[in-house]
């Protein structure tokens, strides 16, 4: 809601390639998407072998990528063991790790493991520490995969949240840990966002990007715009002003028509996350 400040006035006057080793729950996207660049460094049609794992991890952002893990990685699990790349996480300035969350089998559901870049892969045996190289996982799941497109990475929408997230990923310096759970969502902006059906949603379908129960209300516009939920706030802002216009709250006047006695008061939006029964309802401005 718009709030009038009582402070001193500031102013006066294409088709998809078949997956030969596709896990049974993988779905083929309904409509093909064009092969356009997903990041500045890597394109969907690029050869994976030509890129570093960090760039590949970057391409995973906002995508659900399903891997079939080699059995020796989890000897305690019989049968197919599929996981979903959930969060890339920066460990140091140059090393990134993907936090993988298991969806199947049921016994491992919601447990996590780390998927390292080659530089951090355990050196003593492939299964040492049950960690997995990104390239190794891709090679095991889809040996014929050559490009990000083959591993079901799709075009990211040119949304503010996507740009903000990529900027965050790119700015991982000085030991800053990048936690994509704060900006990522399996429910948004990817054709592969929910490959396992509704029963396996990790988040509520009503939750916006990066929403958690502990998410505080932004105190001002700048904080809202720096928030991972900025697209929600921008959307709400866009709804609030037309609503006030339709109520006939304002009348536009030229500043030059004001008298010296007239004062122009600054205003600001108030940002409030509305919840119902503890669950997210809407972002109210």
Partner 1 sequence: MKRKGADGVGNYDDAFSPVPAASSSRTILSLANQLDMFTDHVDISQAFVQGELLPGDGHNGNVYISSPPGYAEDSRYTYRILKPLYGMPSAARAWHTTMSAFLEREGYETVGFEKSMW
| Phi, then psi, of 23 in degrees rounded to 5 | -60, 150
Closer to partner 1 at the Cβ: 196 or 271? 271
CA 35 – CA 234 distance, rounded (Å): 29
Residues 279, 204 contacting (CB under 8 angstroms): yes
Q: How far is the CB of 252 from partner 1 (least distance, A)?
A: 5
20 or 259, CB closer to partner 1? 259
Min CB(50)–partner 1 separation in Å: 42
At its nearest, how many Å lie between partner 1 and the CB of residue 269?
A: 5
Shortest distance, CB of residue 20 to partner 1, whole angstroms? 50
Q: Which is nearer to partner 1, 167 or 264 (CB)?
A: 264
Angle between helices 53-60 and 134-141 (to 10 degrees): 70
Q: How far is the CB of 223 from partner 1 (least distance, A)?
A: 11
Residue 252 or 276 with smaller CB distance to partner 1: 252
| Number of C-beta neighbours around residue 135 at 10 A | 17
CA dihedral 232, 238, 241, 244 (to 10 degrees): -80
**CA dist., res. 188 & res. 231, Å (int):** 12
Q: How far apart are CA 275 and CA 279, in angstroms?
A: 5
Alpha-carbon span 64 to 16, nearest angstrom: 16
Q: Specify the residue, 201 or 237, whose C-beta has the smaller distance to partner 1.
A: 237
* Alpha-carbon gap, residue 214 to 17, rounded angstroms: 42
CB of 157 to partner 1, least distance (A): 22
Alpha-carbon gap, residue 54 to 173, rounded angstroms: 13
Tell which residue, 70, 231, 56, has the closest CA to residue 150.
Answer: 56
CB of 277 to partner 1, least distance (A): 17
CB-nearer residue toward partner 1: 216 or 222? 222
Nearer to partner 1, 34 or 256 (CB): 256
- Decide: residue 34, CB within 10 A, 0-12 exposed, 13-18 middle, 19+ buried: exposed
Note the residues at the interface with partner 1 (CB under 8 A): 1-6, 8, 10-11, 220-222, 224-225, 234, 237, 241, 243-244, 247-256, 258-259, 261-270
């Amino acid at each position: 809601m718009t709030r009038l400040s009582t402070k001193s006035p500031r102013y006066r006057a294409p088709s998809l390639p078949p997956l030969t080793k596709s896990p049974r729950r993988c779905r083929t996207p309904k409509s093909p998407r064009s092969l356009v660049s997903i990041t500045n460094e890597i394109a969907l049609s690029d050869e994976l072998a030509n890129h570093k794992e960090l760039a590949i991890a970057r391409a995973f952002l906002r995508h659900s990528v399903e891997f079939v893990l080699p059995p020796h990685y989890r000897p305690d699990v019989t049968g197919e063991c599929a996981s979903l790349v959930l969060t890339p996480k920066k460990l140091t300035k140059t090393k990134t790790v993907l936090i993988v969350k298991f969806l199947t089998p049921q016994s491992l559901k919601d447990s996590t493991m780390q998927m390292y870049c080659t530089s951090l892969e355990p050196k003593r045996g492939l299964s040492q520490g049950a960690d997995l190289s990104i390239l190794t996982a891709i090679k095991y799941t889809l040996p014929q995969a050559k490009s990000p497109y083959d591993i079901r990475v799709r075009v990211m929408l040119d949304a503010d949240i996507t740009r903000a997230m990529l900027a965050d990923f790119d700015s991982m310096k000085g030991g800053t840990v990048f936690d994509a759970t704060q900006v990522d969502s399996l429910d948004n902006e990817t054709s592969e966002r929910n490959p396992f059906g509704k029963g396996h949603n990790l988040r509520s379908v009503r939750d916006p990007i990066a929403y958690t129960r502990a998410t505080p209300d932004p105190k001002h516009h700048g904080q809202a715009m720096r928030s991972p939920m900025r697209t929600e706030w921008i959307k709400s802002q866009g709804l609030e002003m037309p609503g006030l216009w339709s109520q006939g709250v304002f009348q536009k006047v030229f500043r030059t028509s004001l008298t010296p006695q007239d004062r122009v008061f600054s205003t600001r939006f108030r940002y409030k996350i509305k919840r119902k029964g503890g669950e997210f309802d809407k972002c109210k401005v």
